């Protein structure tokens, strides 16, 4: 049984690697042939964070615009959110503004504060980069992300780190809220 349960949506344009990141983390595998997510997929991962048993409820949200109307329901009661873009496709980076607009409005409407990390995916394709690390880090700072991490689901680089960092942020926030009660 878990001491803490955390809702963790992963948000970003279609094809940025949300599903491959999730499967790499959960199963340790990489498959380039995942179909685009329709609506959303849901996964659970139990892990220990700072000696506390936690359960991550990972919501892999479809990146197509036609599903964006579902996003407020996914964000409602979230404890953390991973925003993801593809470092080789600048449009996926510039579209983060649209995703953030819905995210911020939803959080205001529900009176919640949600931990966030910005993820730059496909680090294994560094030679095709169109978004600089500096631009991404500045964007993360400007929009109050806890941090910016680049990863590769193909090689596994920083995949575990991302989920450990967001889990630790969510746990710290939850313990802080419990102490205030």
Confidence grade of residue 123 (pLDDT, cut at 50, 70, 90):
very high
User: Nearest CA to 22 among 57, 60, 48?
Assistant: 60
Enter the pTM of the model: 0.91
Paired sense of beta strands 52-61 and 40-49, if any: antiparallel
- 85-113 pLDDT, tens digit per residue, is 999 999 999 999 999 999 999 999 999 98
Burial class (CB in 10 A: 0-12, 13-18, 19+), 82: buried
Taking the CB of residue 35, how many other CB atoms lie within 10 A of it? 6
Nearby residues of 118 by Cβ (< 8 Å), 6 or more positions away: 83, 84, 85, 96, 136, 139, 140, 143, 145, 147, 148, 149
- 16-69 pLDDT, tens digit per residue, is 999 999 989 998 877 666 555 555 678 889 988 888 899 999 988 766 665 666
Quick one: CATH architecture of 4-180?
3-Layer(aba) Sandwich (3.40)
| 43 and 26 Cβ atoms separated by less than 8 Å | yes
Nearby residues of 75 by Cβ (< 8 Å), 6 or more positions away: 9, 81, 102, 103, 106, 107, 110, 114
Rounded to an integer, what distance in angstroms lies between the CA atom of residue 41 and that of residue 58? 8
Nearby residues of 135 by Cβ (< 8 Å), 6 or more positions away: 93
User: What residues does each domain of the chain span?
Assistant: 4-180
């Amino acid at each position: 049984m878990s001491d803490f349960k955390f809702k963790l949506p992963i948000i970003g344009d279609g094809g940025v690697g949300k599903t491959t990141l999730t499967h790499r983390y959960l199963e340790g595998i990489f498959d380039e042939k995942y179909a685009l997510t329709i609506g959303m997929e849901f996964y659970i991962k139990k892990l220990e964070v700072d000696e506390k048993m936690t359960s991550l409820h990972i919501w892999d949200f479809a990146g197509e615009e036609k599903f964006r109307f579902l996003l407020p329901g996914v964000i409602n009661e979230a404890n953390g959110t991973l925003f993801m873009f593809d470092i080789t496709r600048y449009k996926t980076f510039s579209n983060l503004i649209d995703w953030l607009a819905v995210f911020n409005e939803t959080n205001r409407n529900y009176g919640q504060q949600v931990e966030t990390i910005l993820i730059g995916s496909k680090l294994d394709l560094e030679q095709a980069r169109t978004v600089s690390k500096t631009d991404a880090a500045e964007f993360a700072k400007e929009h109050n992300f806890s941090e910016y991490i680049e990863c590769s689901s193909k090689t596994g680089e920083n995949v575990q780190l991302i989920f450990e960092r967001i889990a630790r942020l969510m746990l710290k926030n939850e313990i802080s809220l419990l102490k205030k009660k």
